[in-house]
Amino acid sequence: MSTLKRVYVTRQIPPEGLRILRESGQVQMDLWDSDDVPVPREELLRQVRGVDGLVCVLTEKIDTELLDAAGPNLKVLSTMSVGFDHLSLEELKKRGIRVGYTPDVLTDSVAELTVALLLATSRRLIEATHEAKTGGWGTWRTLWLCGHELANSTVGILGLGRIGVAIAERLAPFKVKKFIYADVAPRPELASVIGAEYVSFDELAERSDFLAICCALTPETKEICNKHLFSKMKNTSIFINTSRGGVVNQEDLYEALATGQIAGAGLDVTVPEPLPTDHPLFTLKNCVILPHIASASHTTRNAMSAMAANNLLQGLRGEPMIKELHP
């Protein structure tokens, strides 16, 4: 009879993933049994000692300190996320630890939320709701709460991948005139799906009426959305970020919004997370901020937890994972 592998799960992940792990007959699982409070760092360092596998979420920093605490038994890490900027990939590679992640399954959910955030920002829905609730709704006025519509607009995408394409597919019925994108290199196969034109970074800023940020956070993209970008955008442009907060210089964004350099911004991601309630961005009517909920549908989160669980189990068996990172 094979020995059960010791596994630690850093969060009470959605039920489908937990069910798969419990019914696998392959692992002895310990769990931080909360979804509301992240596992304290000291507790995490204690719990990972000697484990064979680890399931984490994006709030846990998987670095040298944690890997040293885990020790040489750790062979598989599975993160319930598509992003991996919380992982020290170089250290994981050095130690021969396999890494699973959960792309693809959240594409639809993130694309839907991006469109919702774009519309809420461009049509000033949060402002409008506030006015209706607080007595601001008076006589009909010709320009009161006017926003910007998608019809005949140019939509720009920074980082054209599965999510960028899915966003464009959902926006196309709004009679968008043109899709353009910038990336490290042309992506002709993906671009052909939505009829998107490859342009330079500066041209993307200059031509976009709506700019959706869909790139991964890497050393090259850190704070790539800064005053250089905002200074080239139209004063009627809407900026939307559902990728990672670190790709935006938030001080520069605040300045662009406060001075009317751009018309509005919708953010699902920030630095830090949660964003302090006294942060200057919260004082702006033309900035809509959500608490990182792009993949927050029941279907998607359960699919992510199931993939994370299966990645872990397959990795522990020495089999190919459903989705594996190769640093």
Q: Which regions of 199-291 does DSSP assign to beta strands (E)?
A: 210-213, 238-241, 264-267, 287-289
**62-to-41, 115, 139, 215, 237 alpha-carbon distances in Å:** 11, 32, 56, 22, 37
Has 86 been annotated as catalytic? no
Query: Long-range contact list for 225-228, CB < 8 A, 24+ apart?
Result: 225/158, 225/249, 225/252, 225/253, 226/252, 227/252, 227/255, 227/256
Alpha carbon distance 53, 137 (integer Å): 56
Joined tokens for residue 314: 């397959």
Alpha carbon distance 197, 292 (integer Å): 29
Active-site choice (228, 279, 292, 298) = 292
Q: Which of 252, 263, 259 is nearest to 287 (CA)?
A: 263
Residues with Cβ within 8 Å of 275's Cβ and at least 6 positions away in sequence, in order, are 281, 282, 289
By annotation, the residues acting in catalysis are: 292
